[in-house]
């Protein structure tokens, strides 16, 4: 029988816009930062899903890349890698990021395997975008690999970070929806 995932946290407000910077910064509102209790990730195979959405803007010609990552405390446990932005300028177009995470090891050297997909007209596979639809990018666009290790015997706060490779006022991302689904916390 398949497990039924429950919502562990749902954002009730939008996060602050991340604009004009190349510094990785949290895009989650503070009340949406889920605290996993100590030993929540206590068995290999436990899984949870992150659904994030919002609006994104990018500059024309040399927009650079956007990187999204998930962190437990200060440890990046899933890095979506640098996604090429479209060479067509966009203002506040929608984006959606879905990430599946599975516990691969537990204890003081716990780890997660993750894979995701990112949808947005502002993202590009080949530079210019389609005028009729959204690009779909696998995140990361490399061979799947286990993320950085963390200590699952302690409580850990899950956070979502964004980072542009080009600092410009026209490069901006805002998280407007966020949900984590998984087994009950207690």
pTM value is: 0.93
**pLDDT one-digit tens code per residue, 139-184:** 998 999 999 999 999 999 999 999 999 999 999 999 999 999 998 8
Domain that holds residue 26: 6-182
Residues 6+ apart with CB under 8 A from 97: 50, 51, 52, 53, 68, 80, 116, 117, 118, 119, 139
What is the rounded distance in angstroms from the CA atom of residue 74 to the CA atom of residue 67?
A: 16
Check which CATH number belongs to the domain holding 15 and give it: 2.60.120
Considering the domain boundaries, does residue 101 fall inside one? yes
Considering the domain boundaries, does residue 38 fall inside one? yes
Considering the domain boundaries, does residue 1 fall inside one? no
Considering the domain boundaries, does residue 41 fall inside one? yes
**pLDDT one-digit tens code per residue, 51-95:** 999 999 999 989 999 999 999 999 999 999 999 999 889 999 999
Considering the domain boundaries, does residue 152 fall inside one? yes
Considering the domain boundaries, does residue 140 fall inside one? yes
Number of domains in the chain: 1
**Can you give the pLDDT at residue 176?**
98
**By C-alpha distance, which of 97, 140, 136, 96 is closest to 115?**
140
Decide: helix, strand or coil at residue 93: strand
């Amino acid at each position: 029988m398949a497990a039924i995932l429950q919502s562990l946290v749902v954002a009730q407000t939008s996060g602050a816009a991340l604009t004009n910077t190349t510094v990785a910064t949290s895009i989650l509102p503070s009340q949406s930062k889920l605290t996993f209790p100590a030993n929540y990730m206590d068995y290999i195979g436990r899984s949870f899903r992150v659904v994030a959405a919002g609006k994104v803007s990018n500059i024309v010609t040399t927009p650079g890349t956007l990187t999204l990552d998930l962190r437990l405390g200060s440890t990046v446990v899933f890095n979506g890698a640098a996604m090429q932005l479209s060479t067509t300028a966009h203002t506040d177009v929608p984006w959606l990021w879905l990430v599946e995470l599975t516990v691969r090891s537990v204890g003081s050297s716990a780890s997660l395997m993750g894979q995701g997909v990112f949808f947005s007209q502002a993202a590009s596979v080949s530079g210019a975008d389609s005028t009729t639809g959204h690009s779909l990018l696998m995140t990361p666009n490399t061979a799947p690999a286990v993320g950085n290790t963390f200590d699952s015997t302690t409580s850990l706060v899950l956070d979502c970070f964004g980072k542009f490779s080009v600092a410009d006022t026209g490069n901006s991302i805002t998280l407007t929806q966020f949900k984590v689904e998984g087994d009950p916390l207690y």
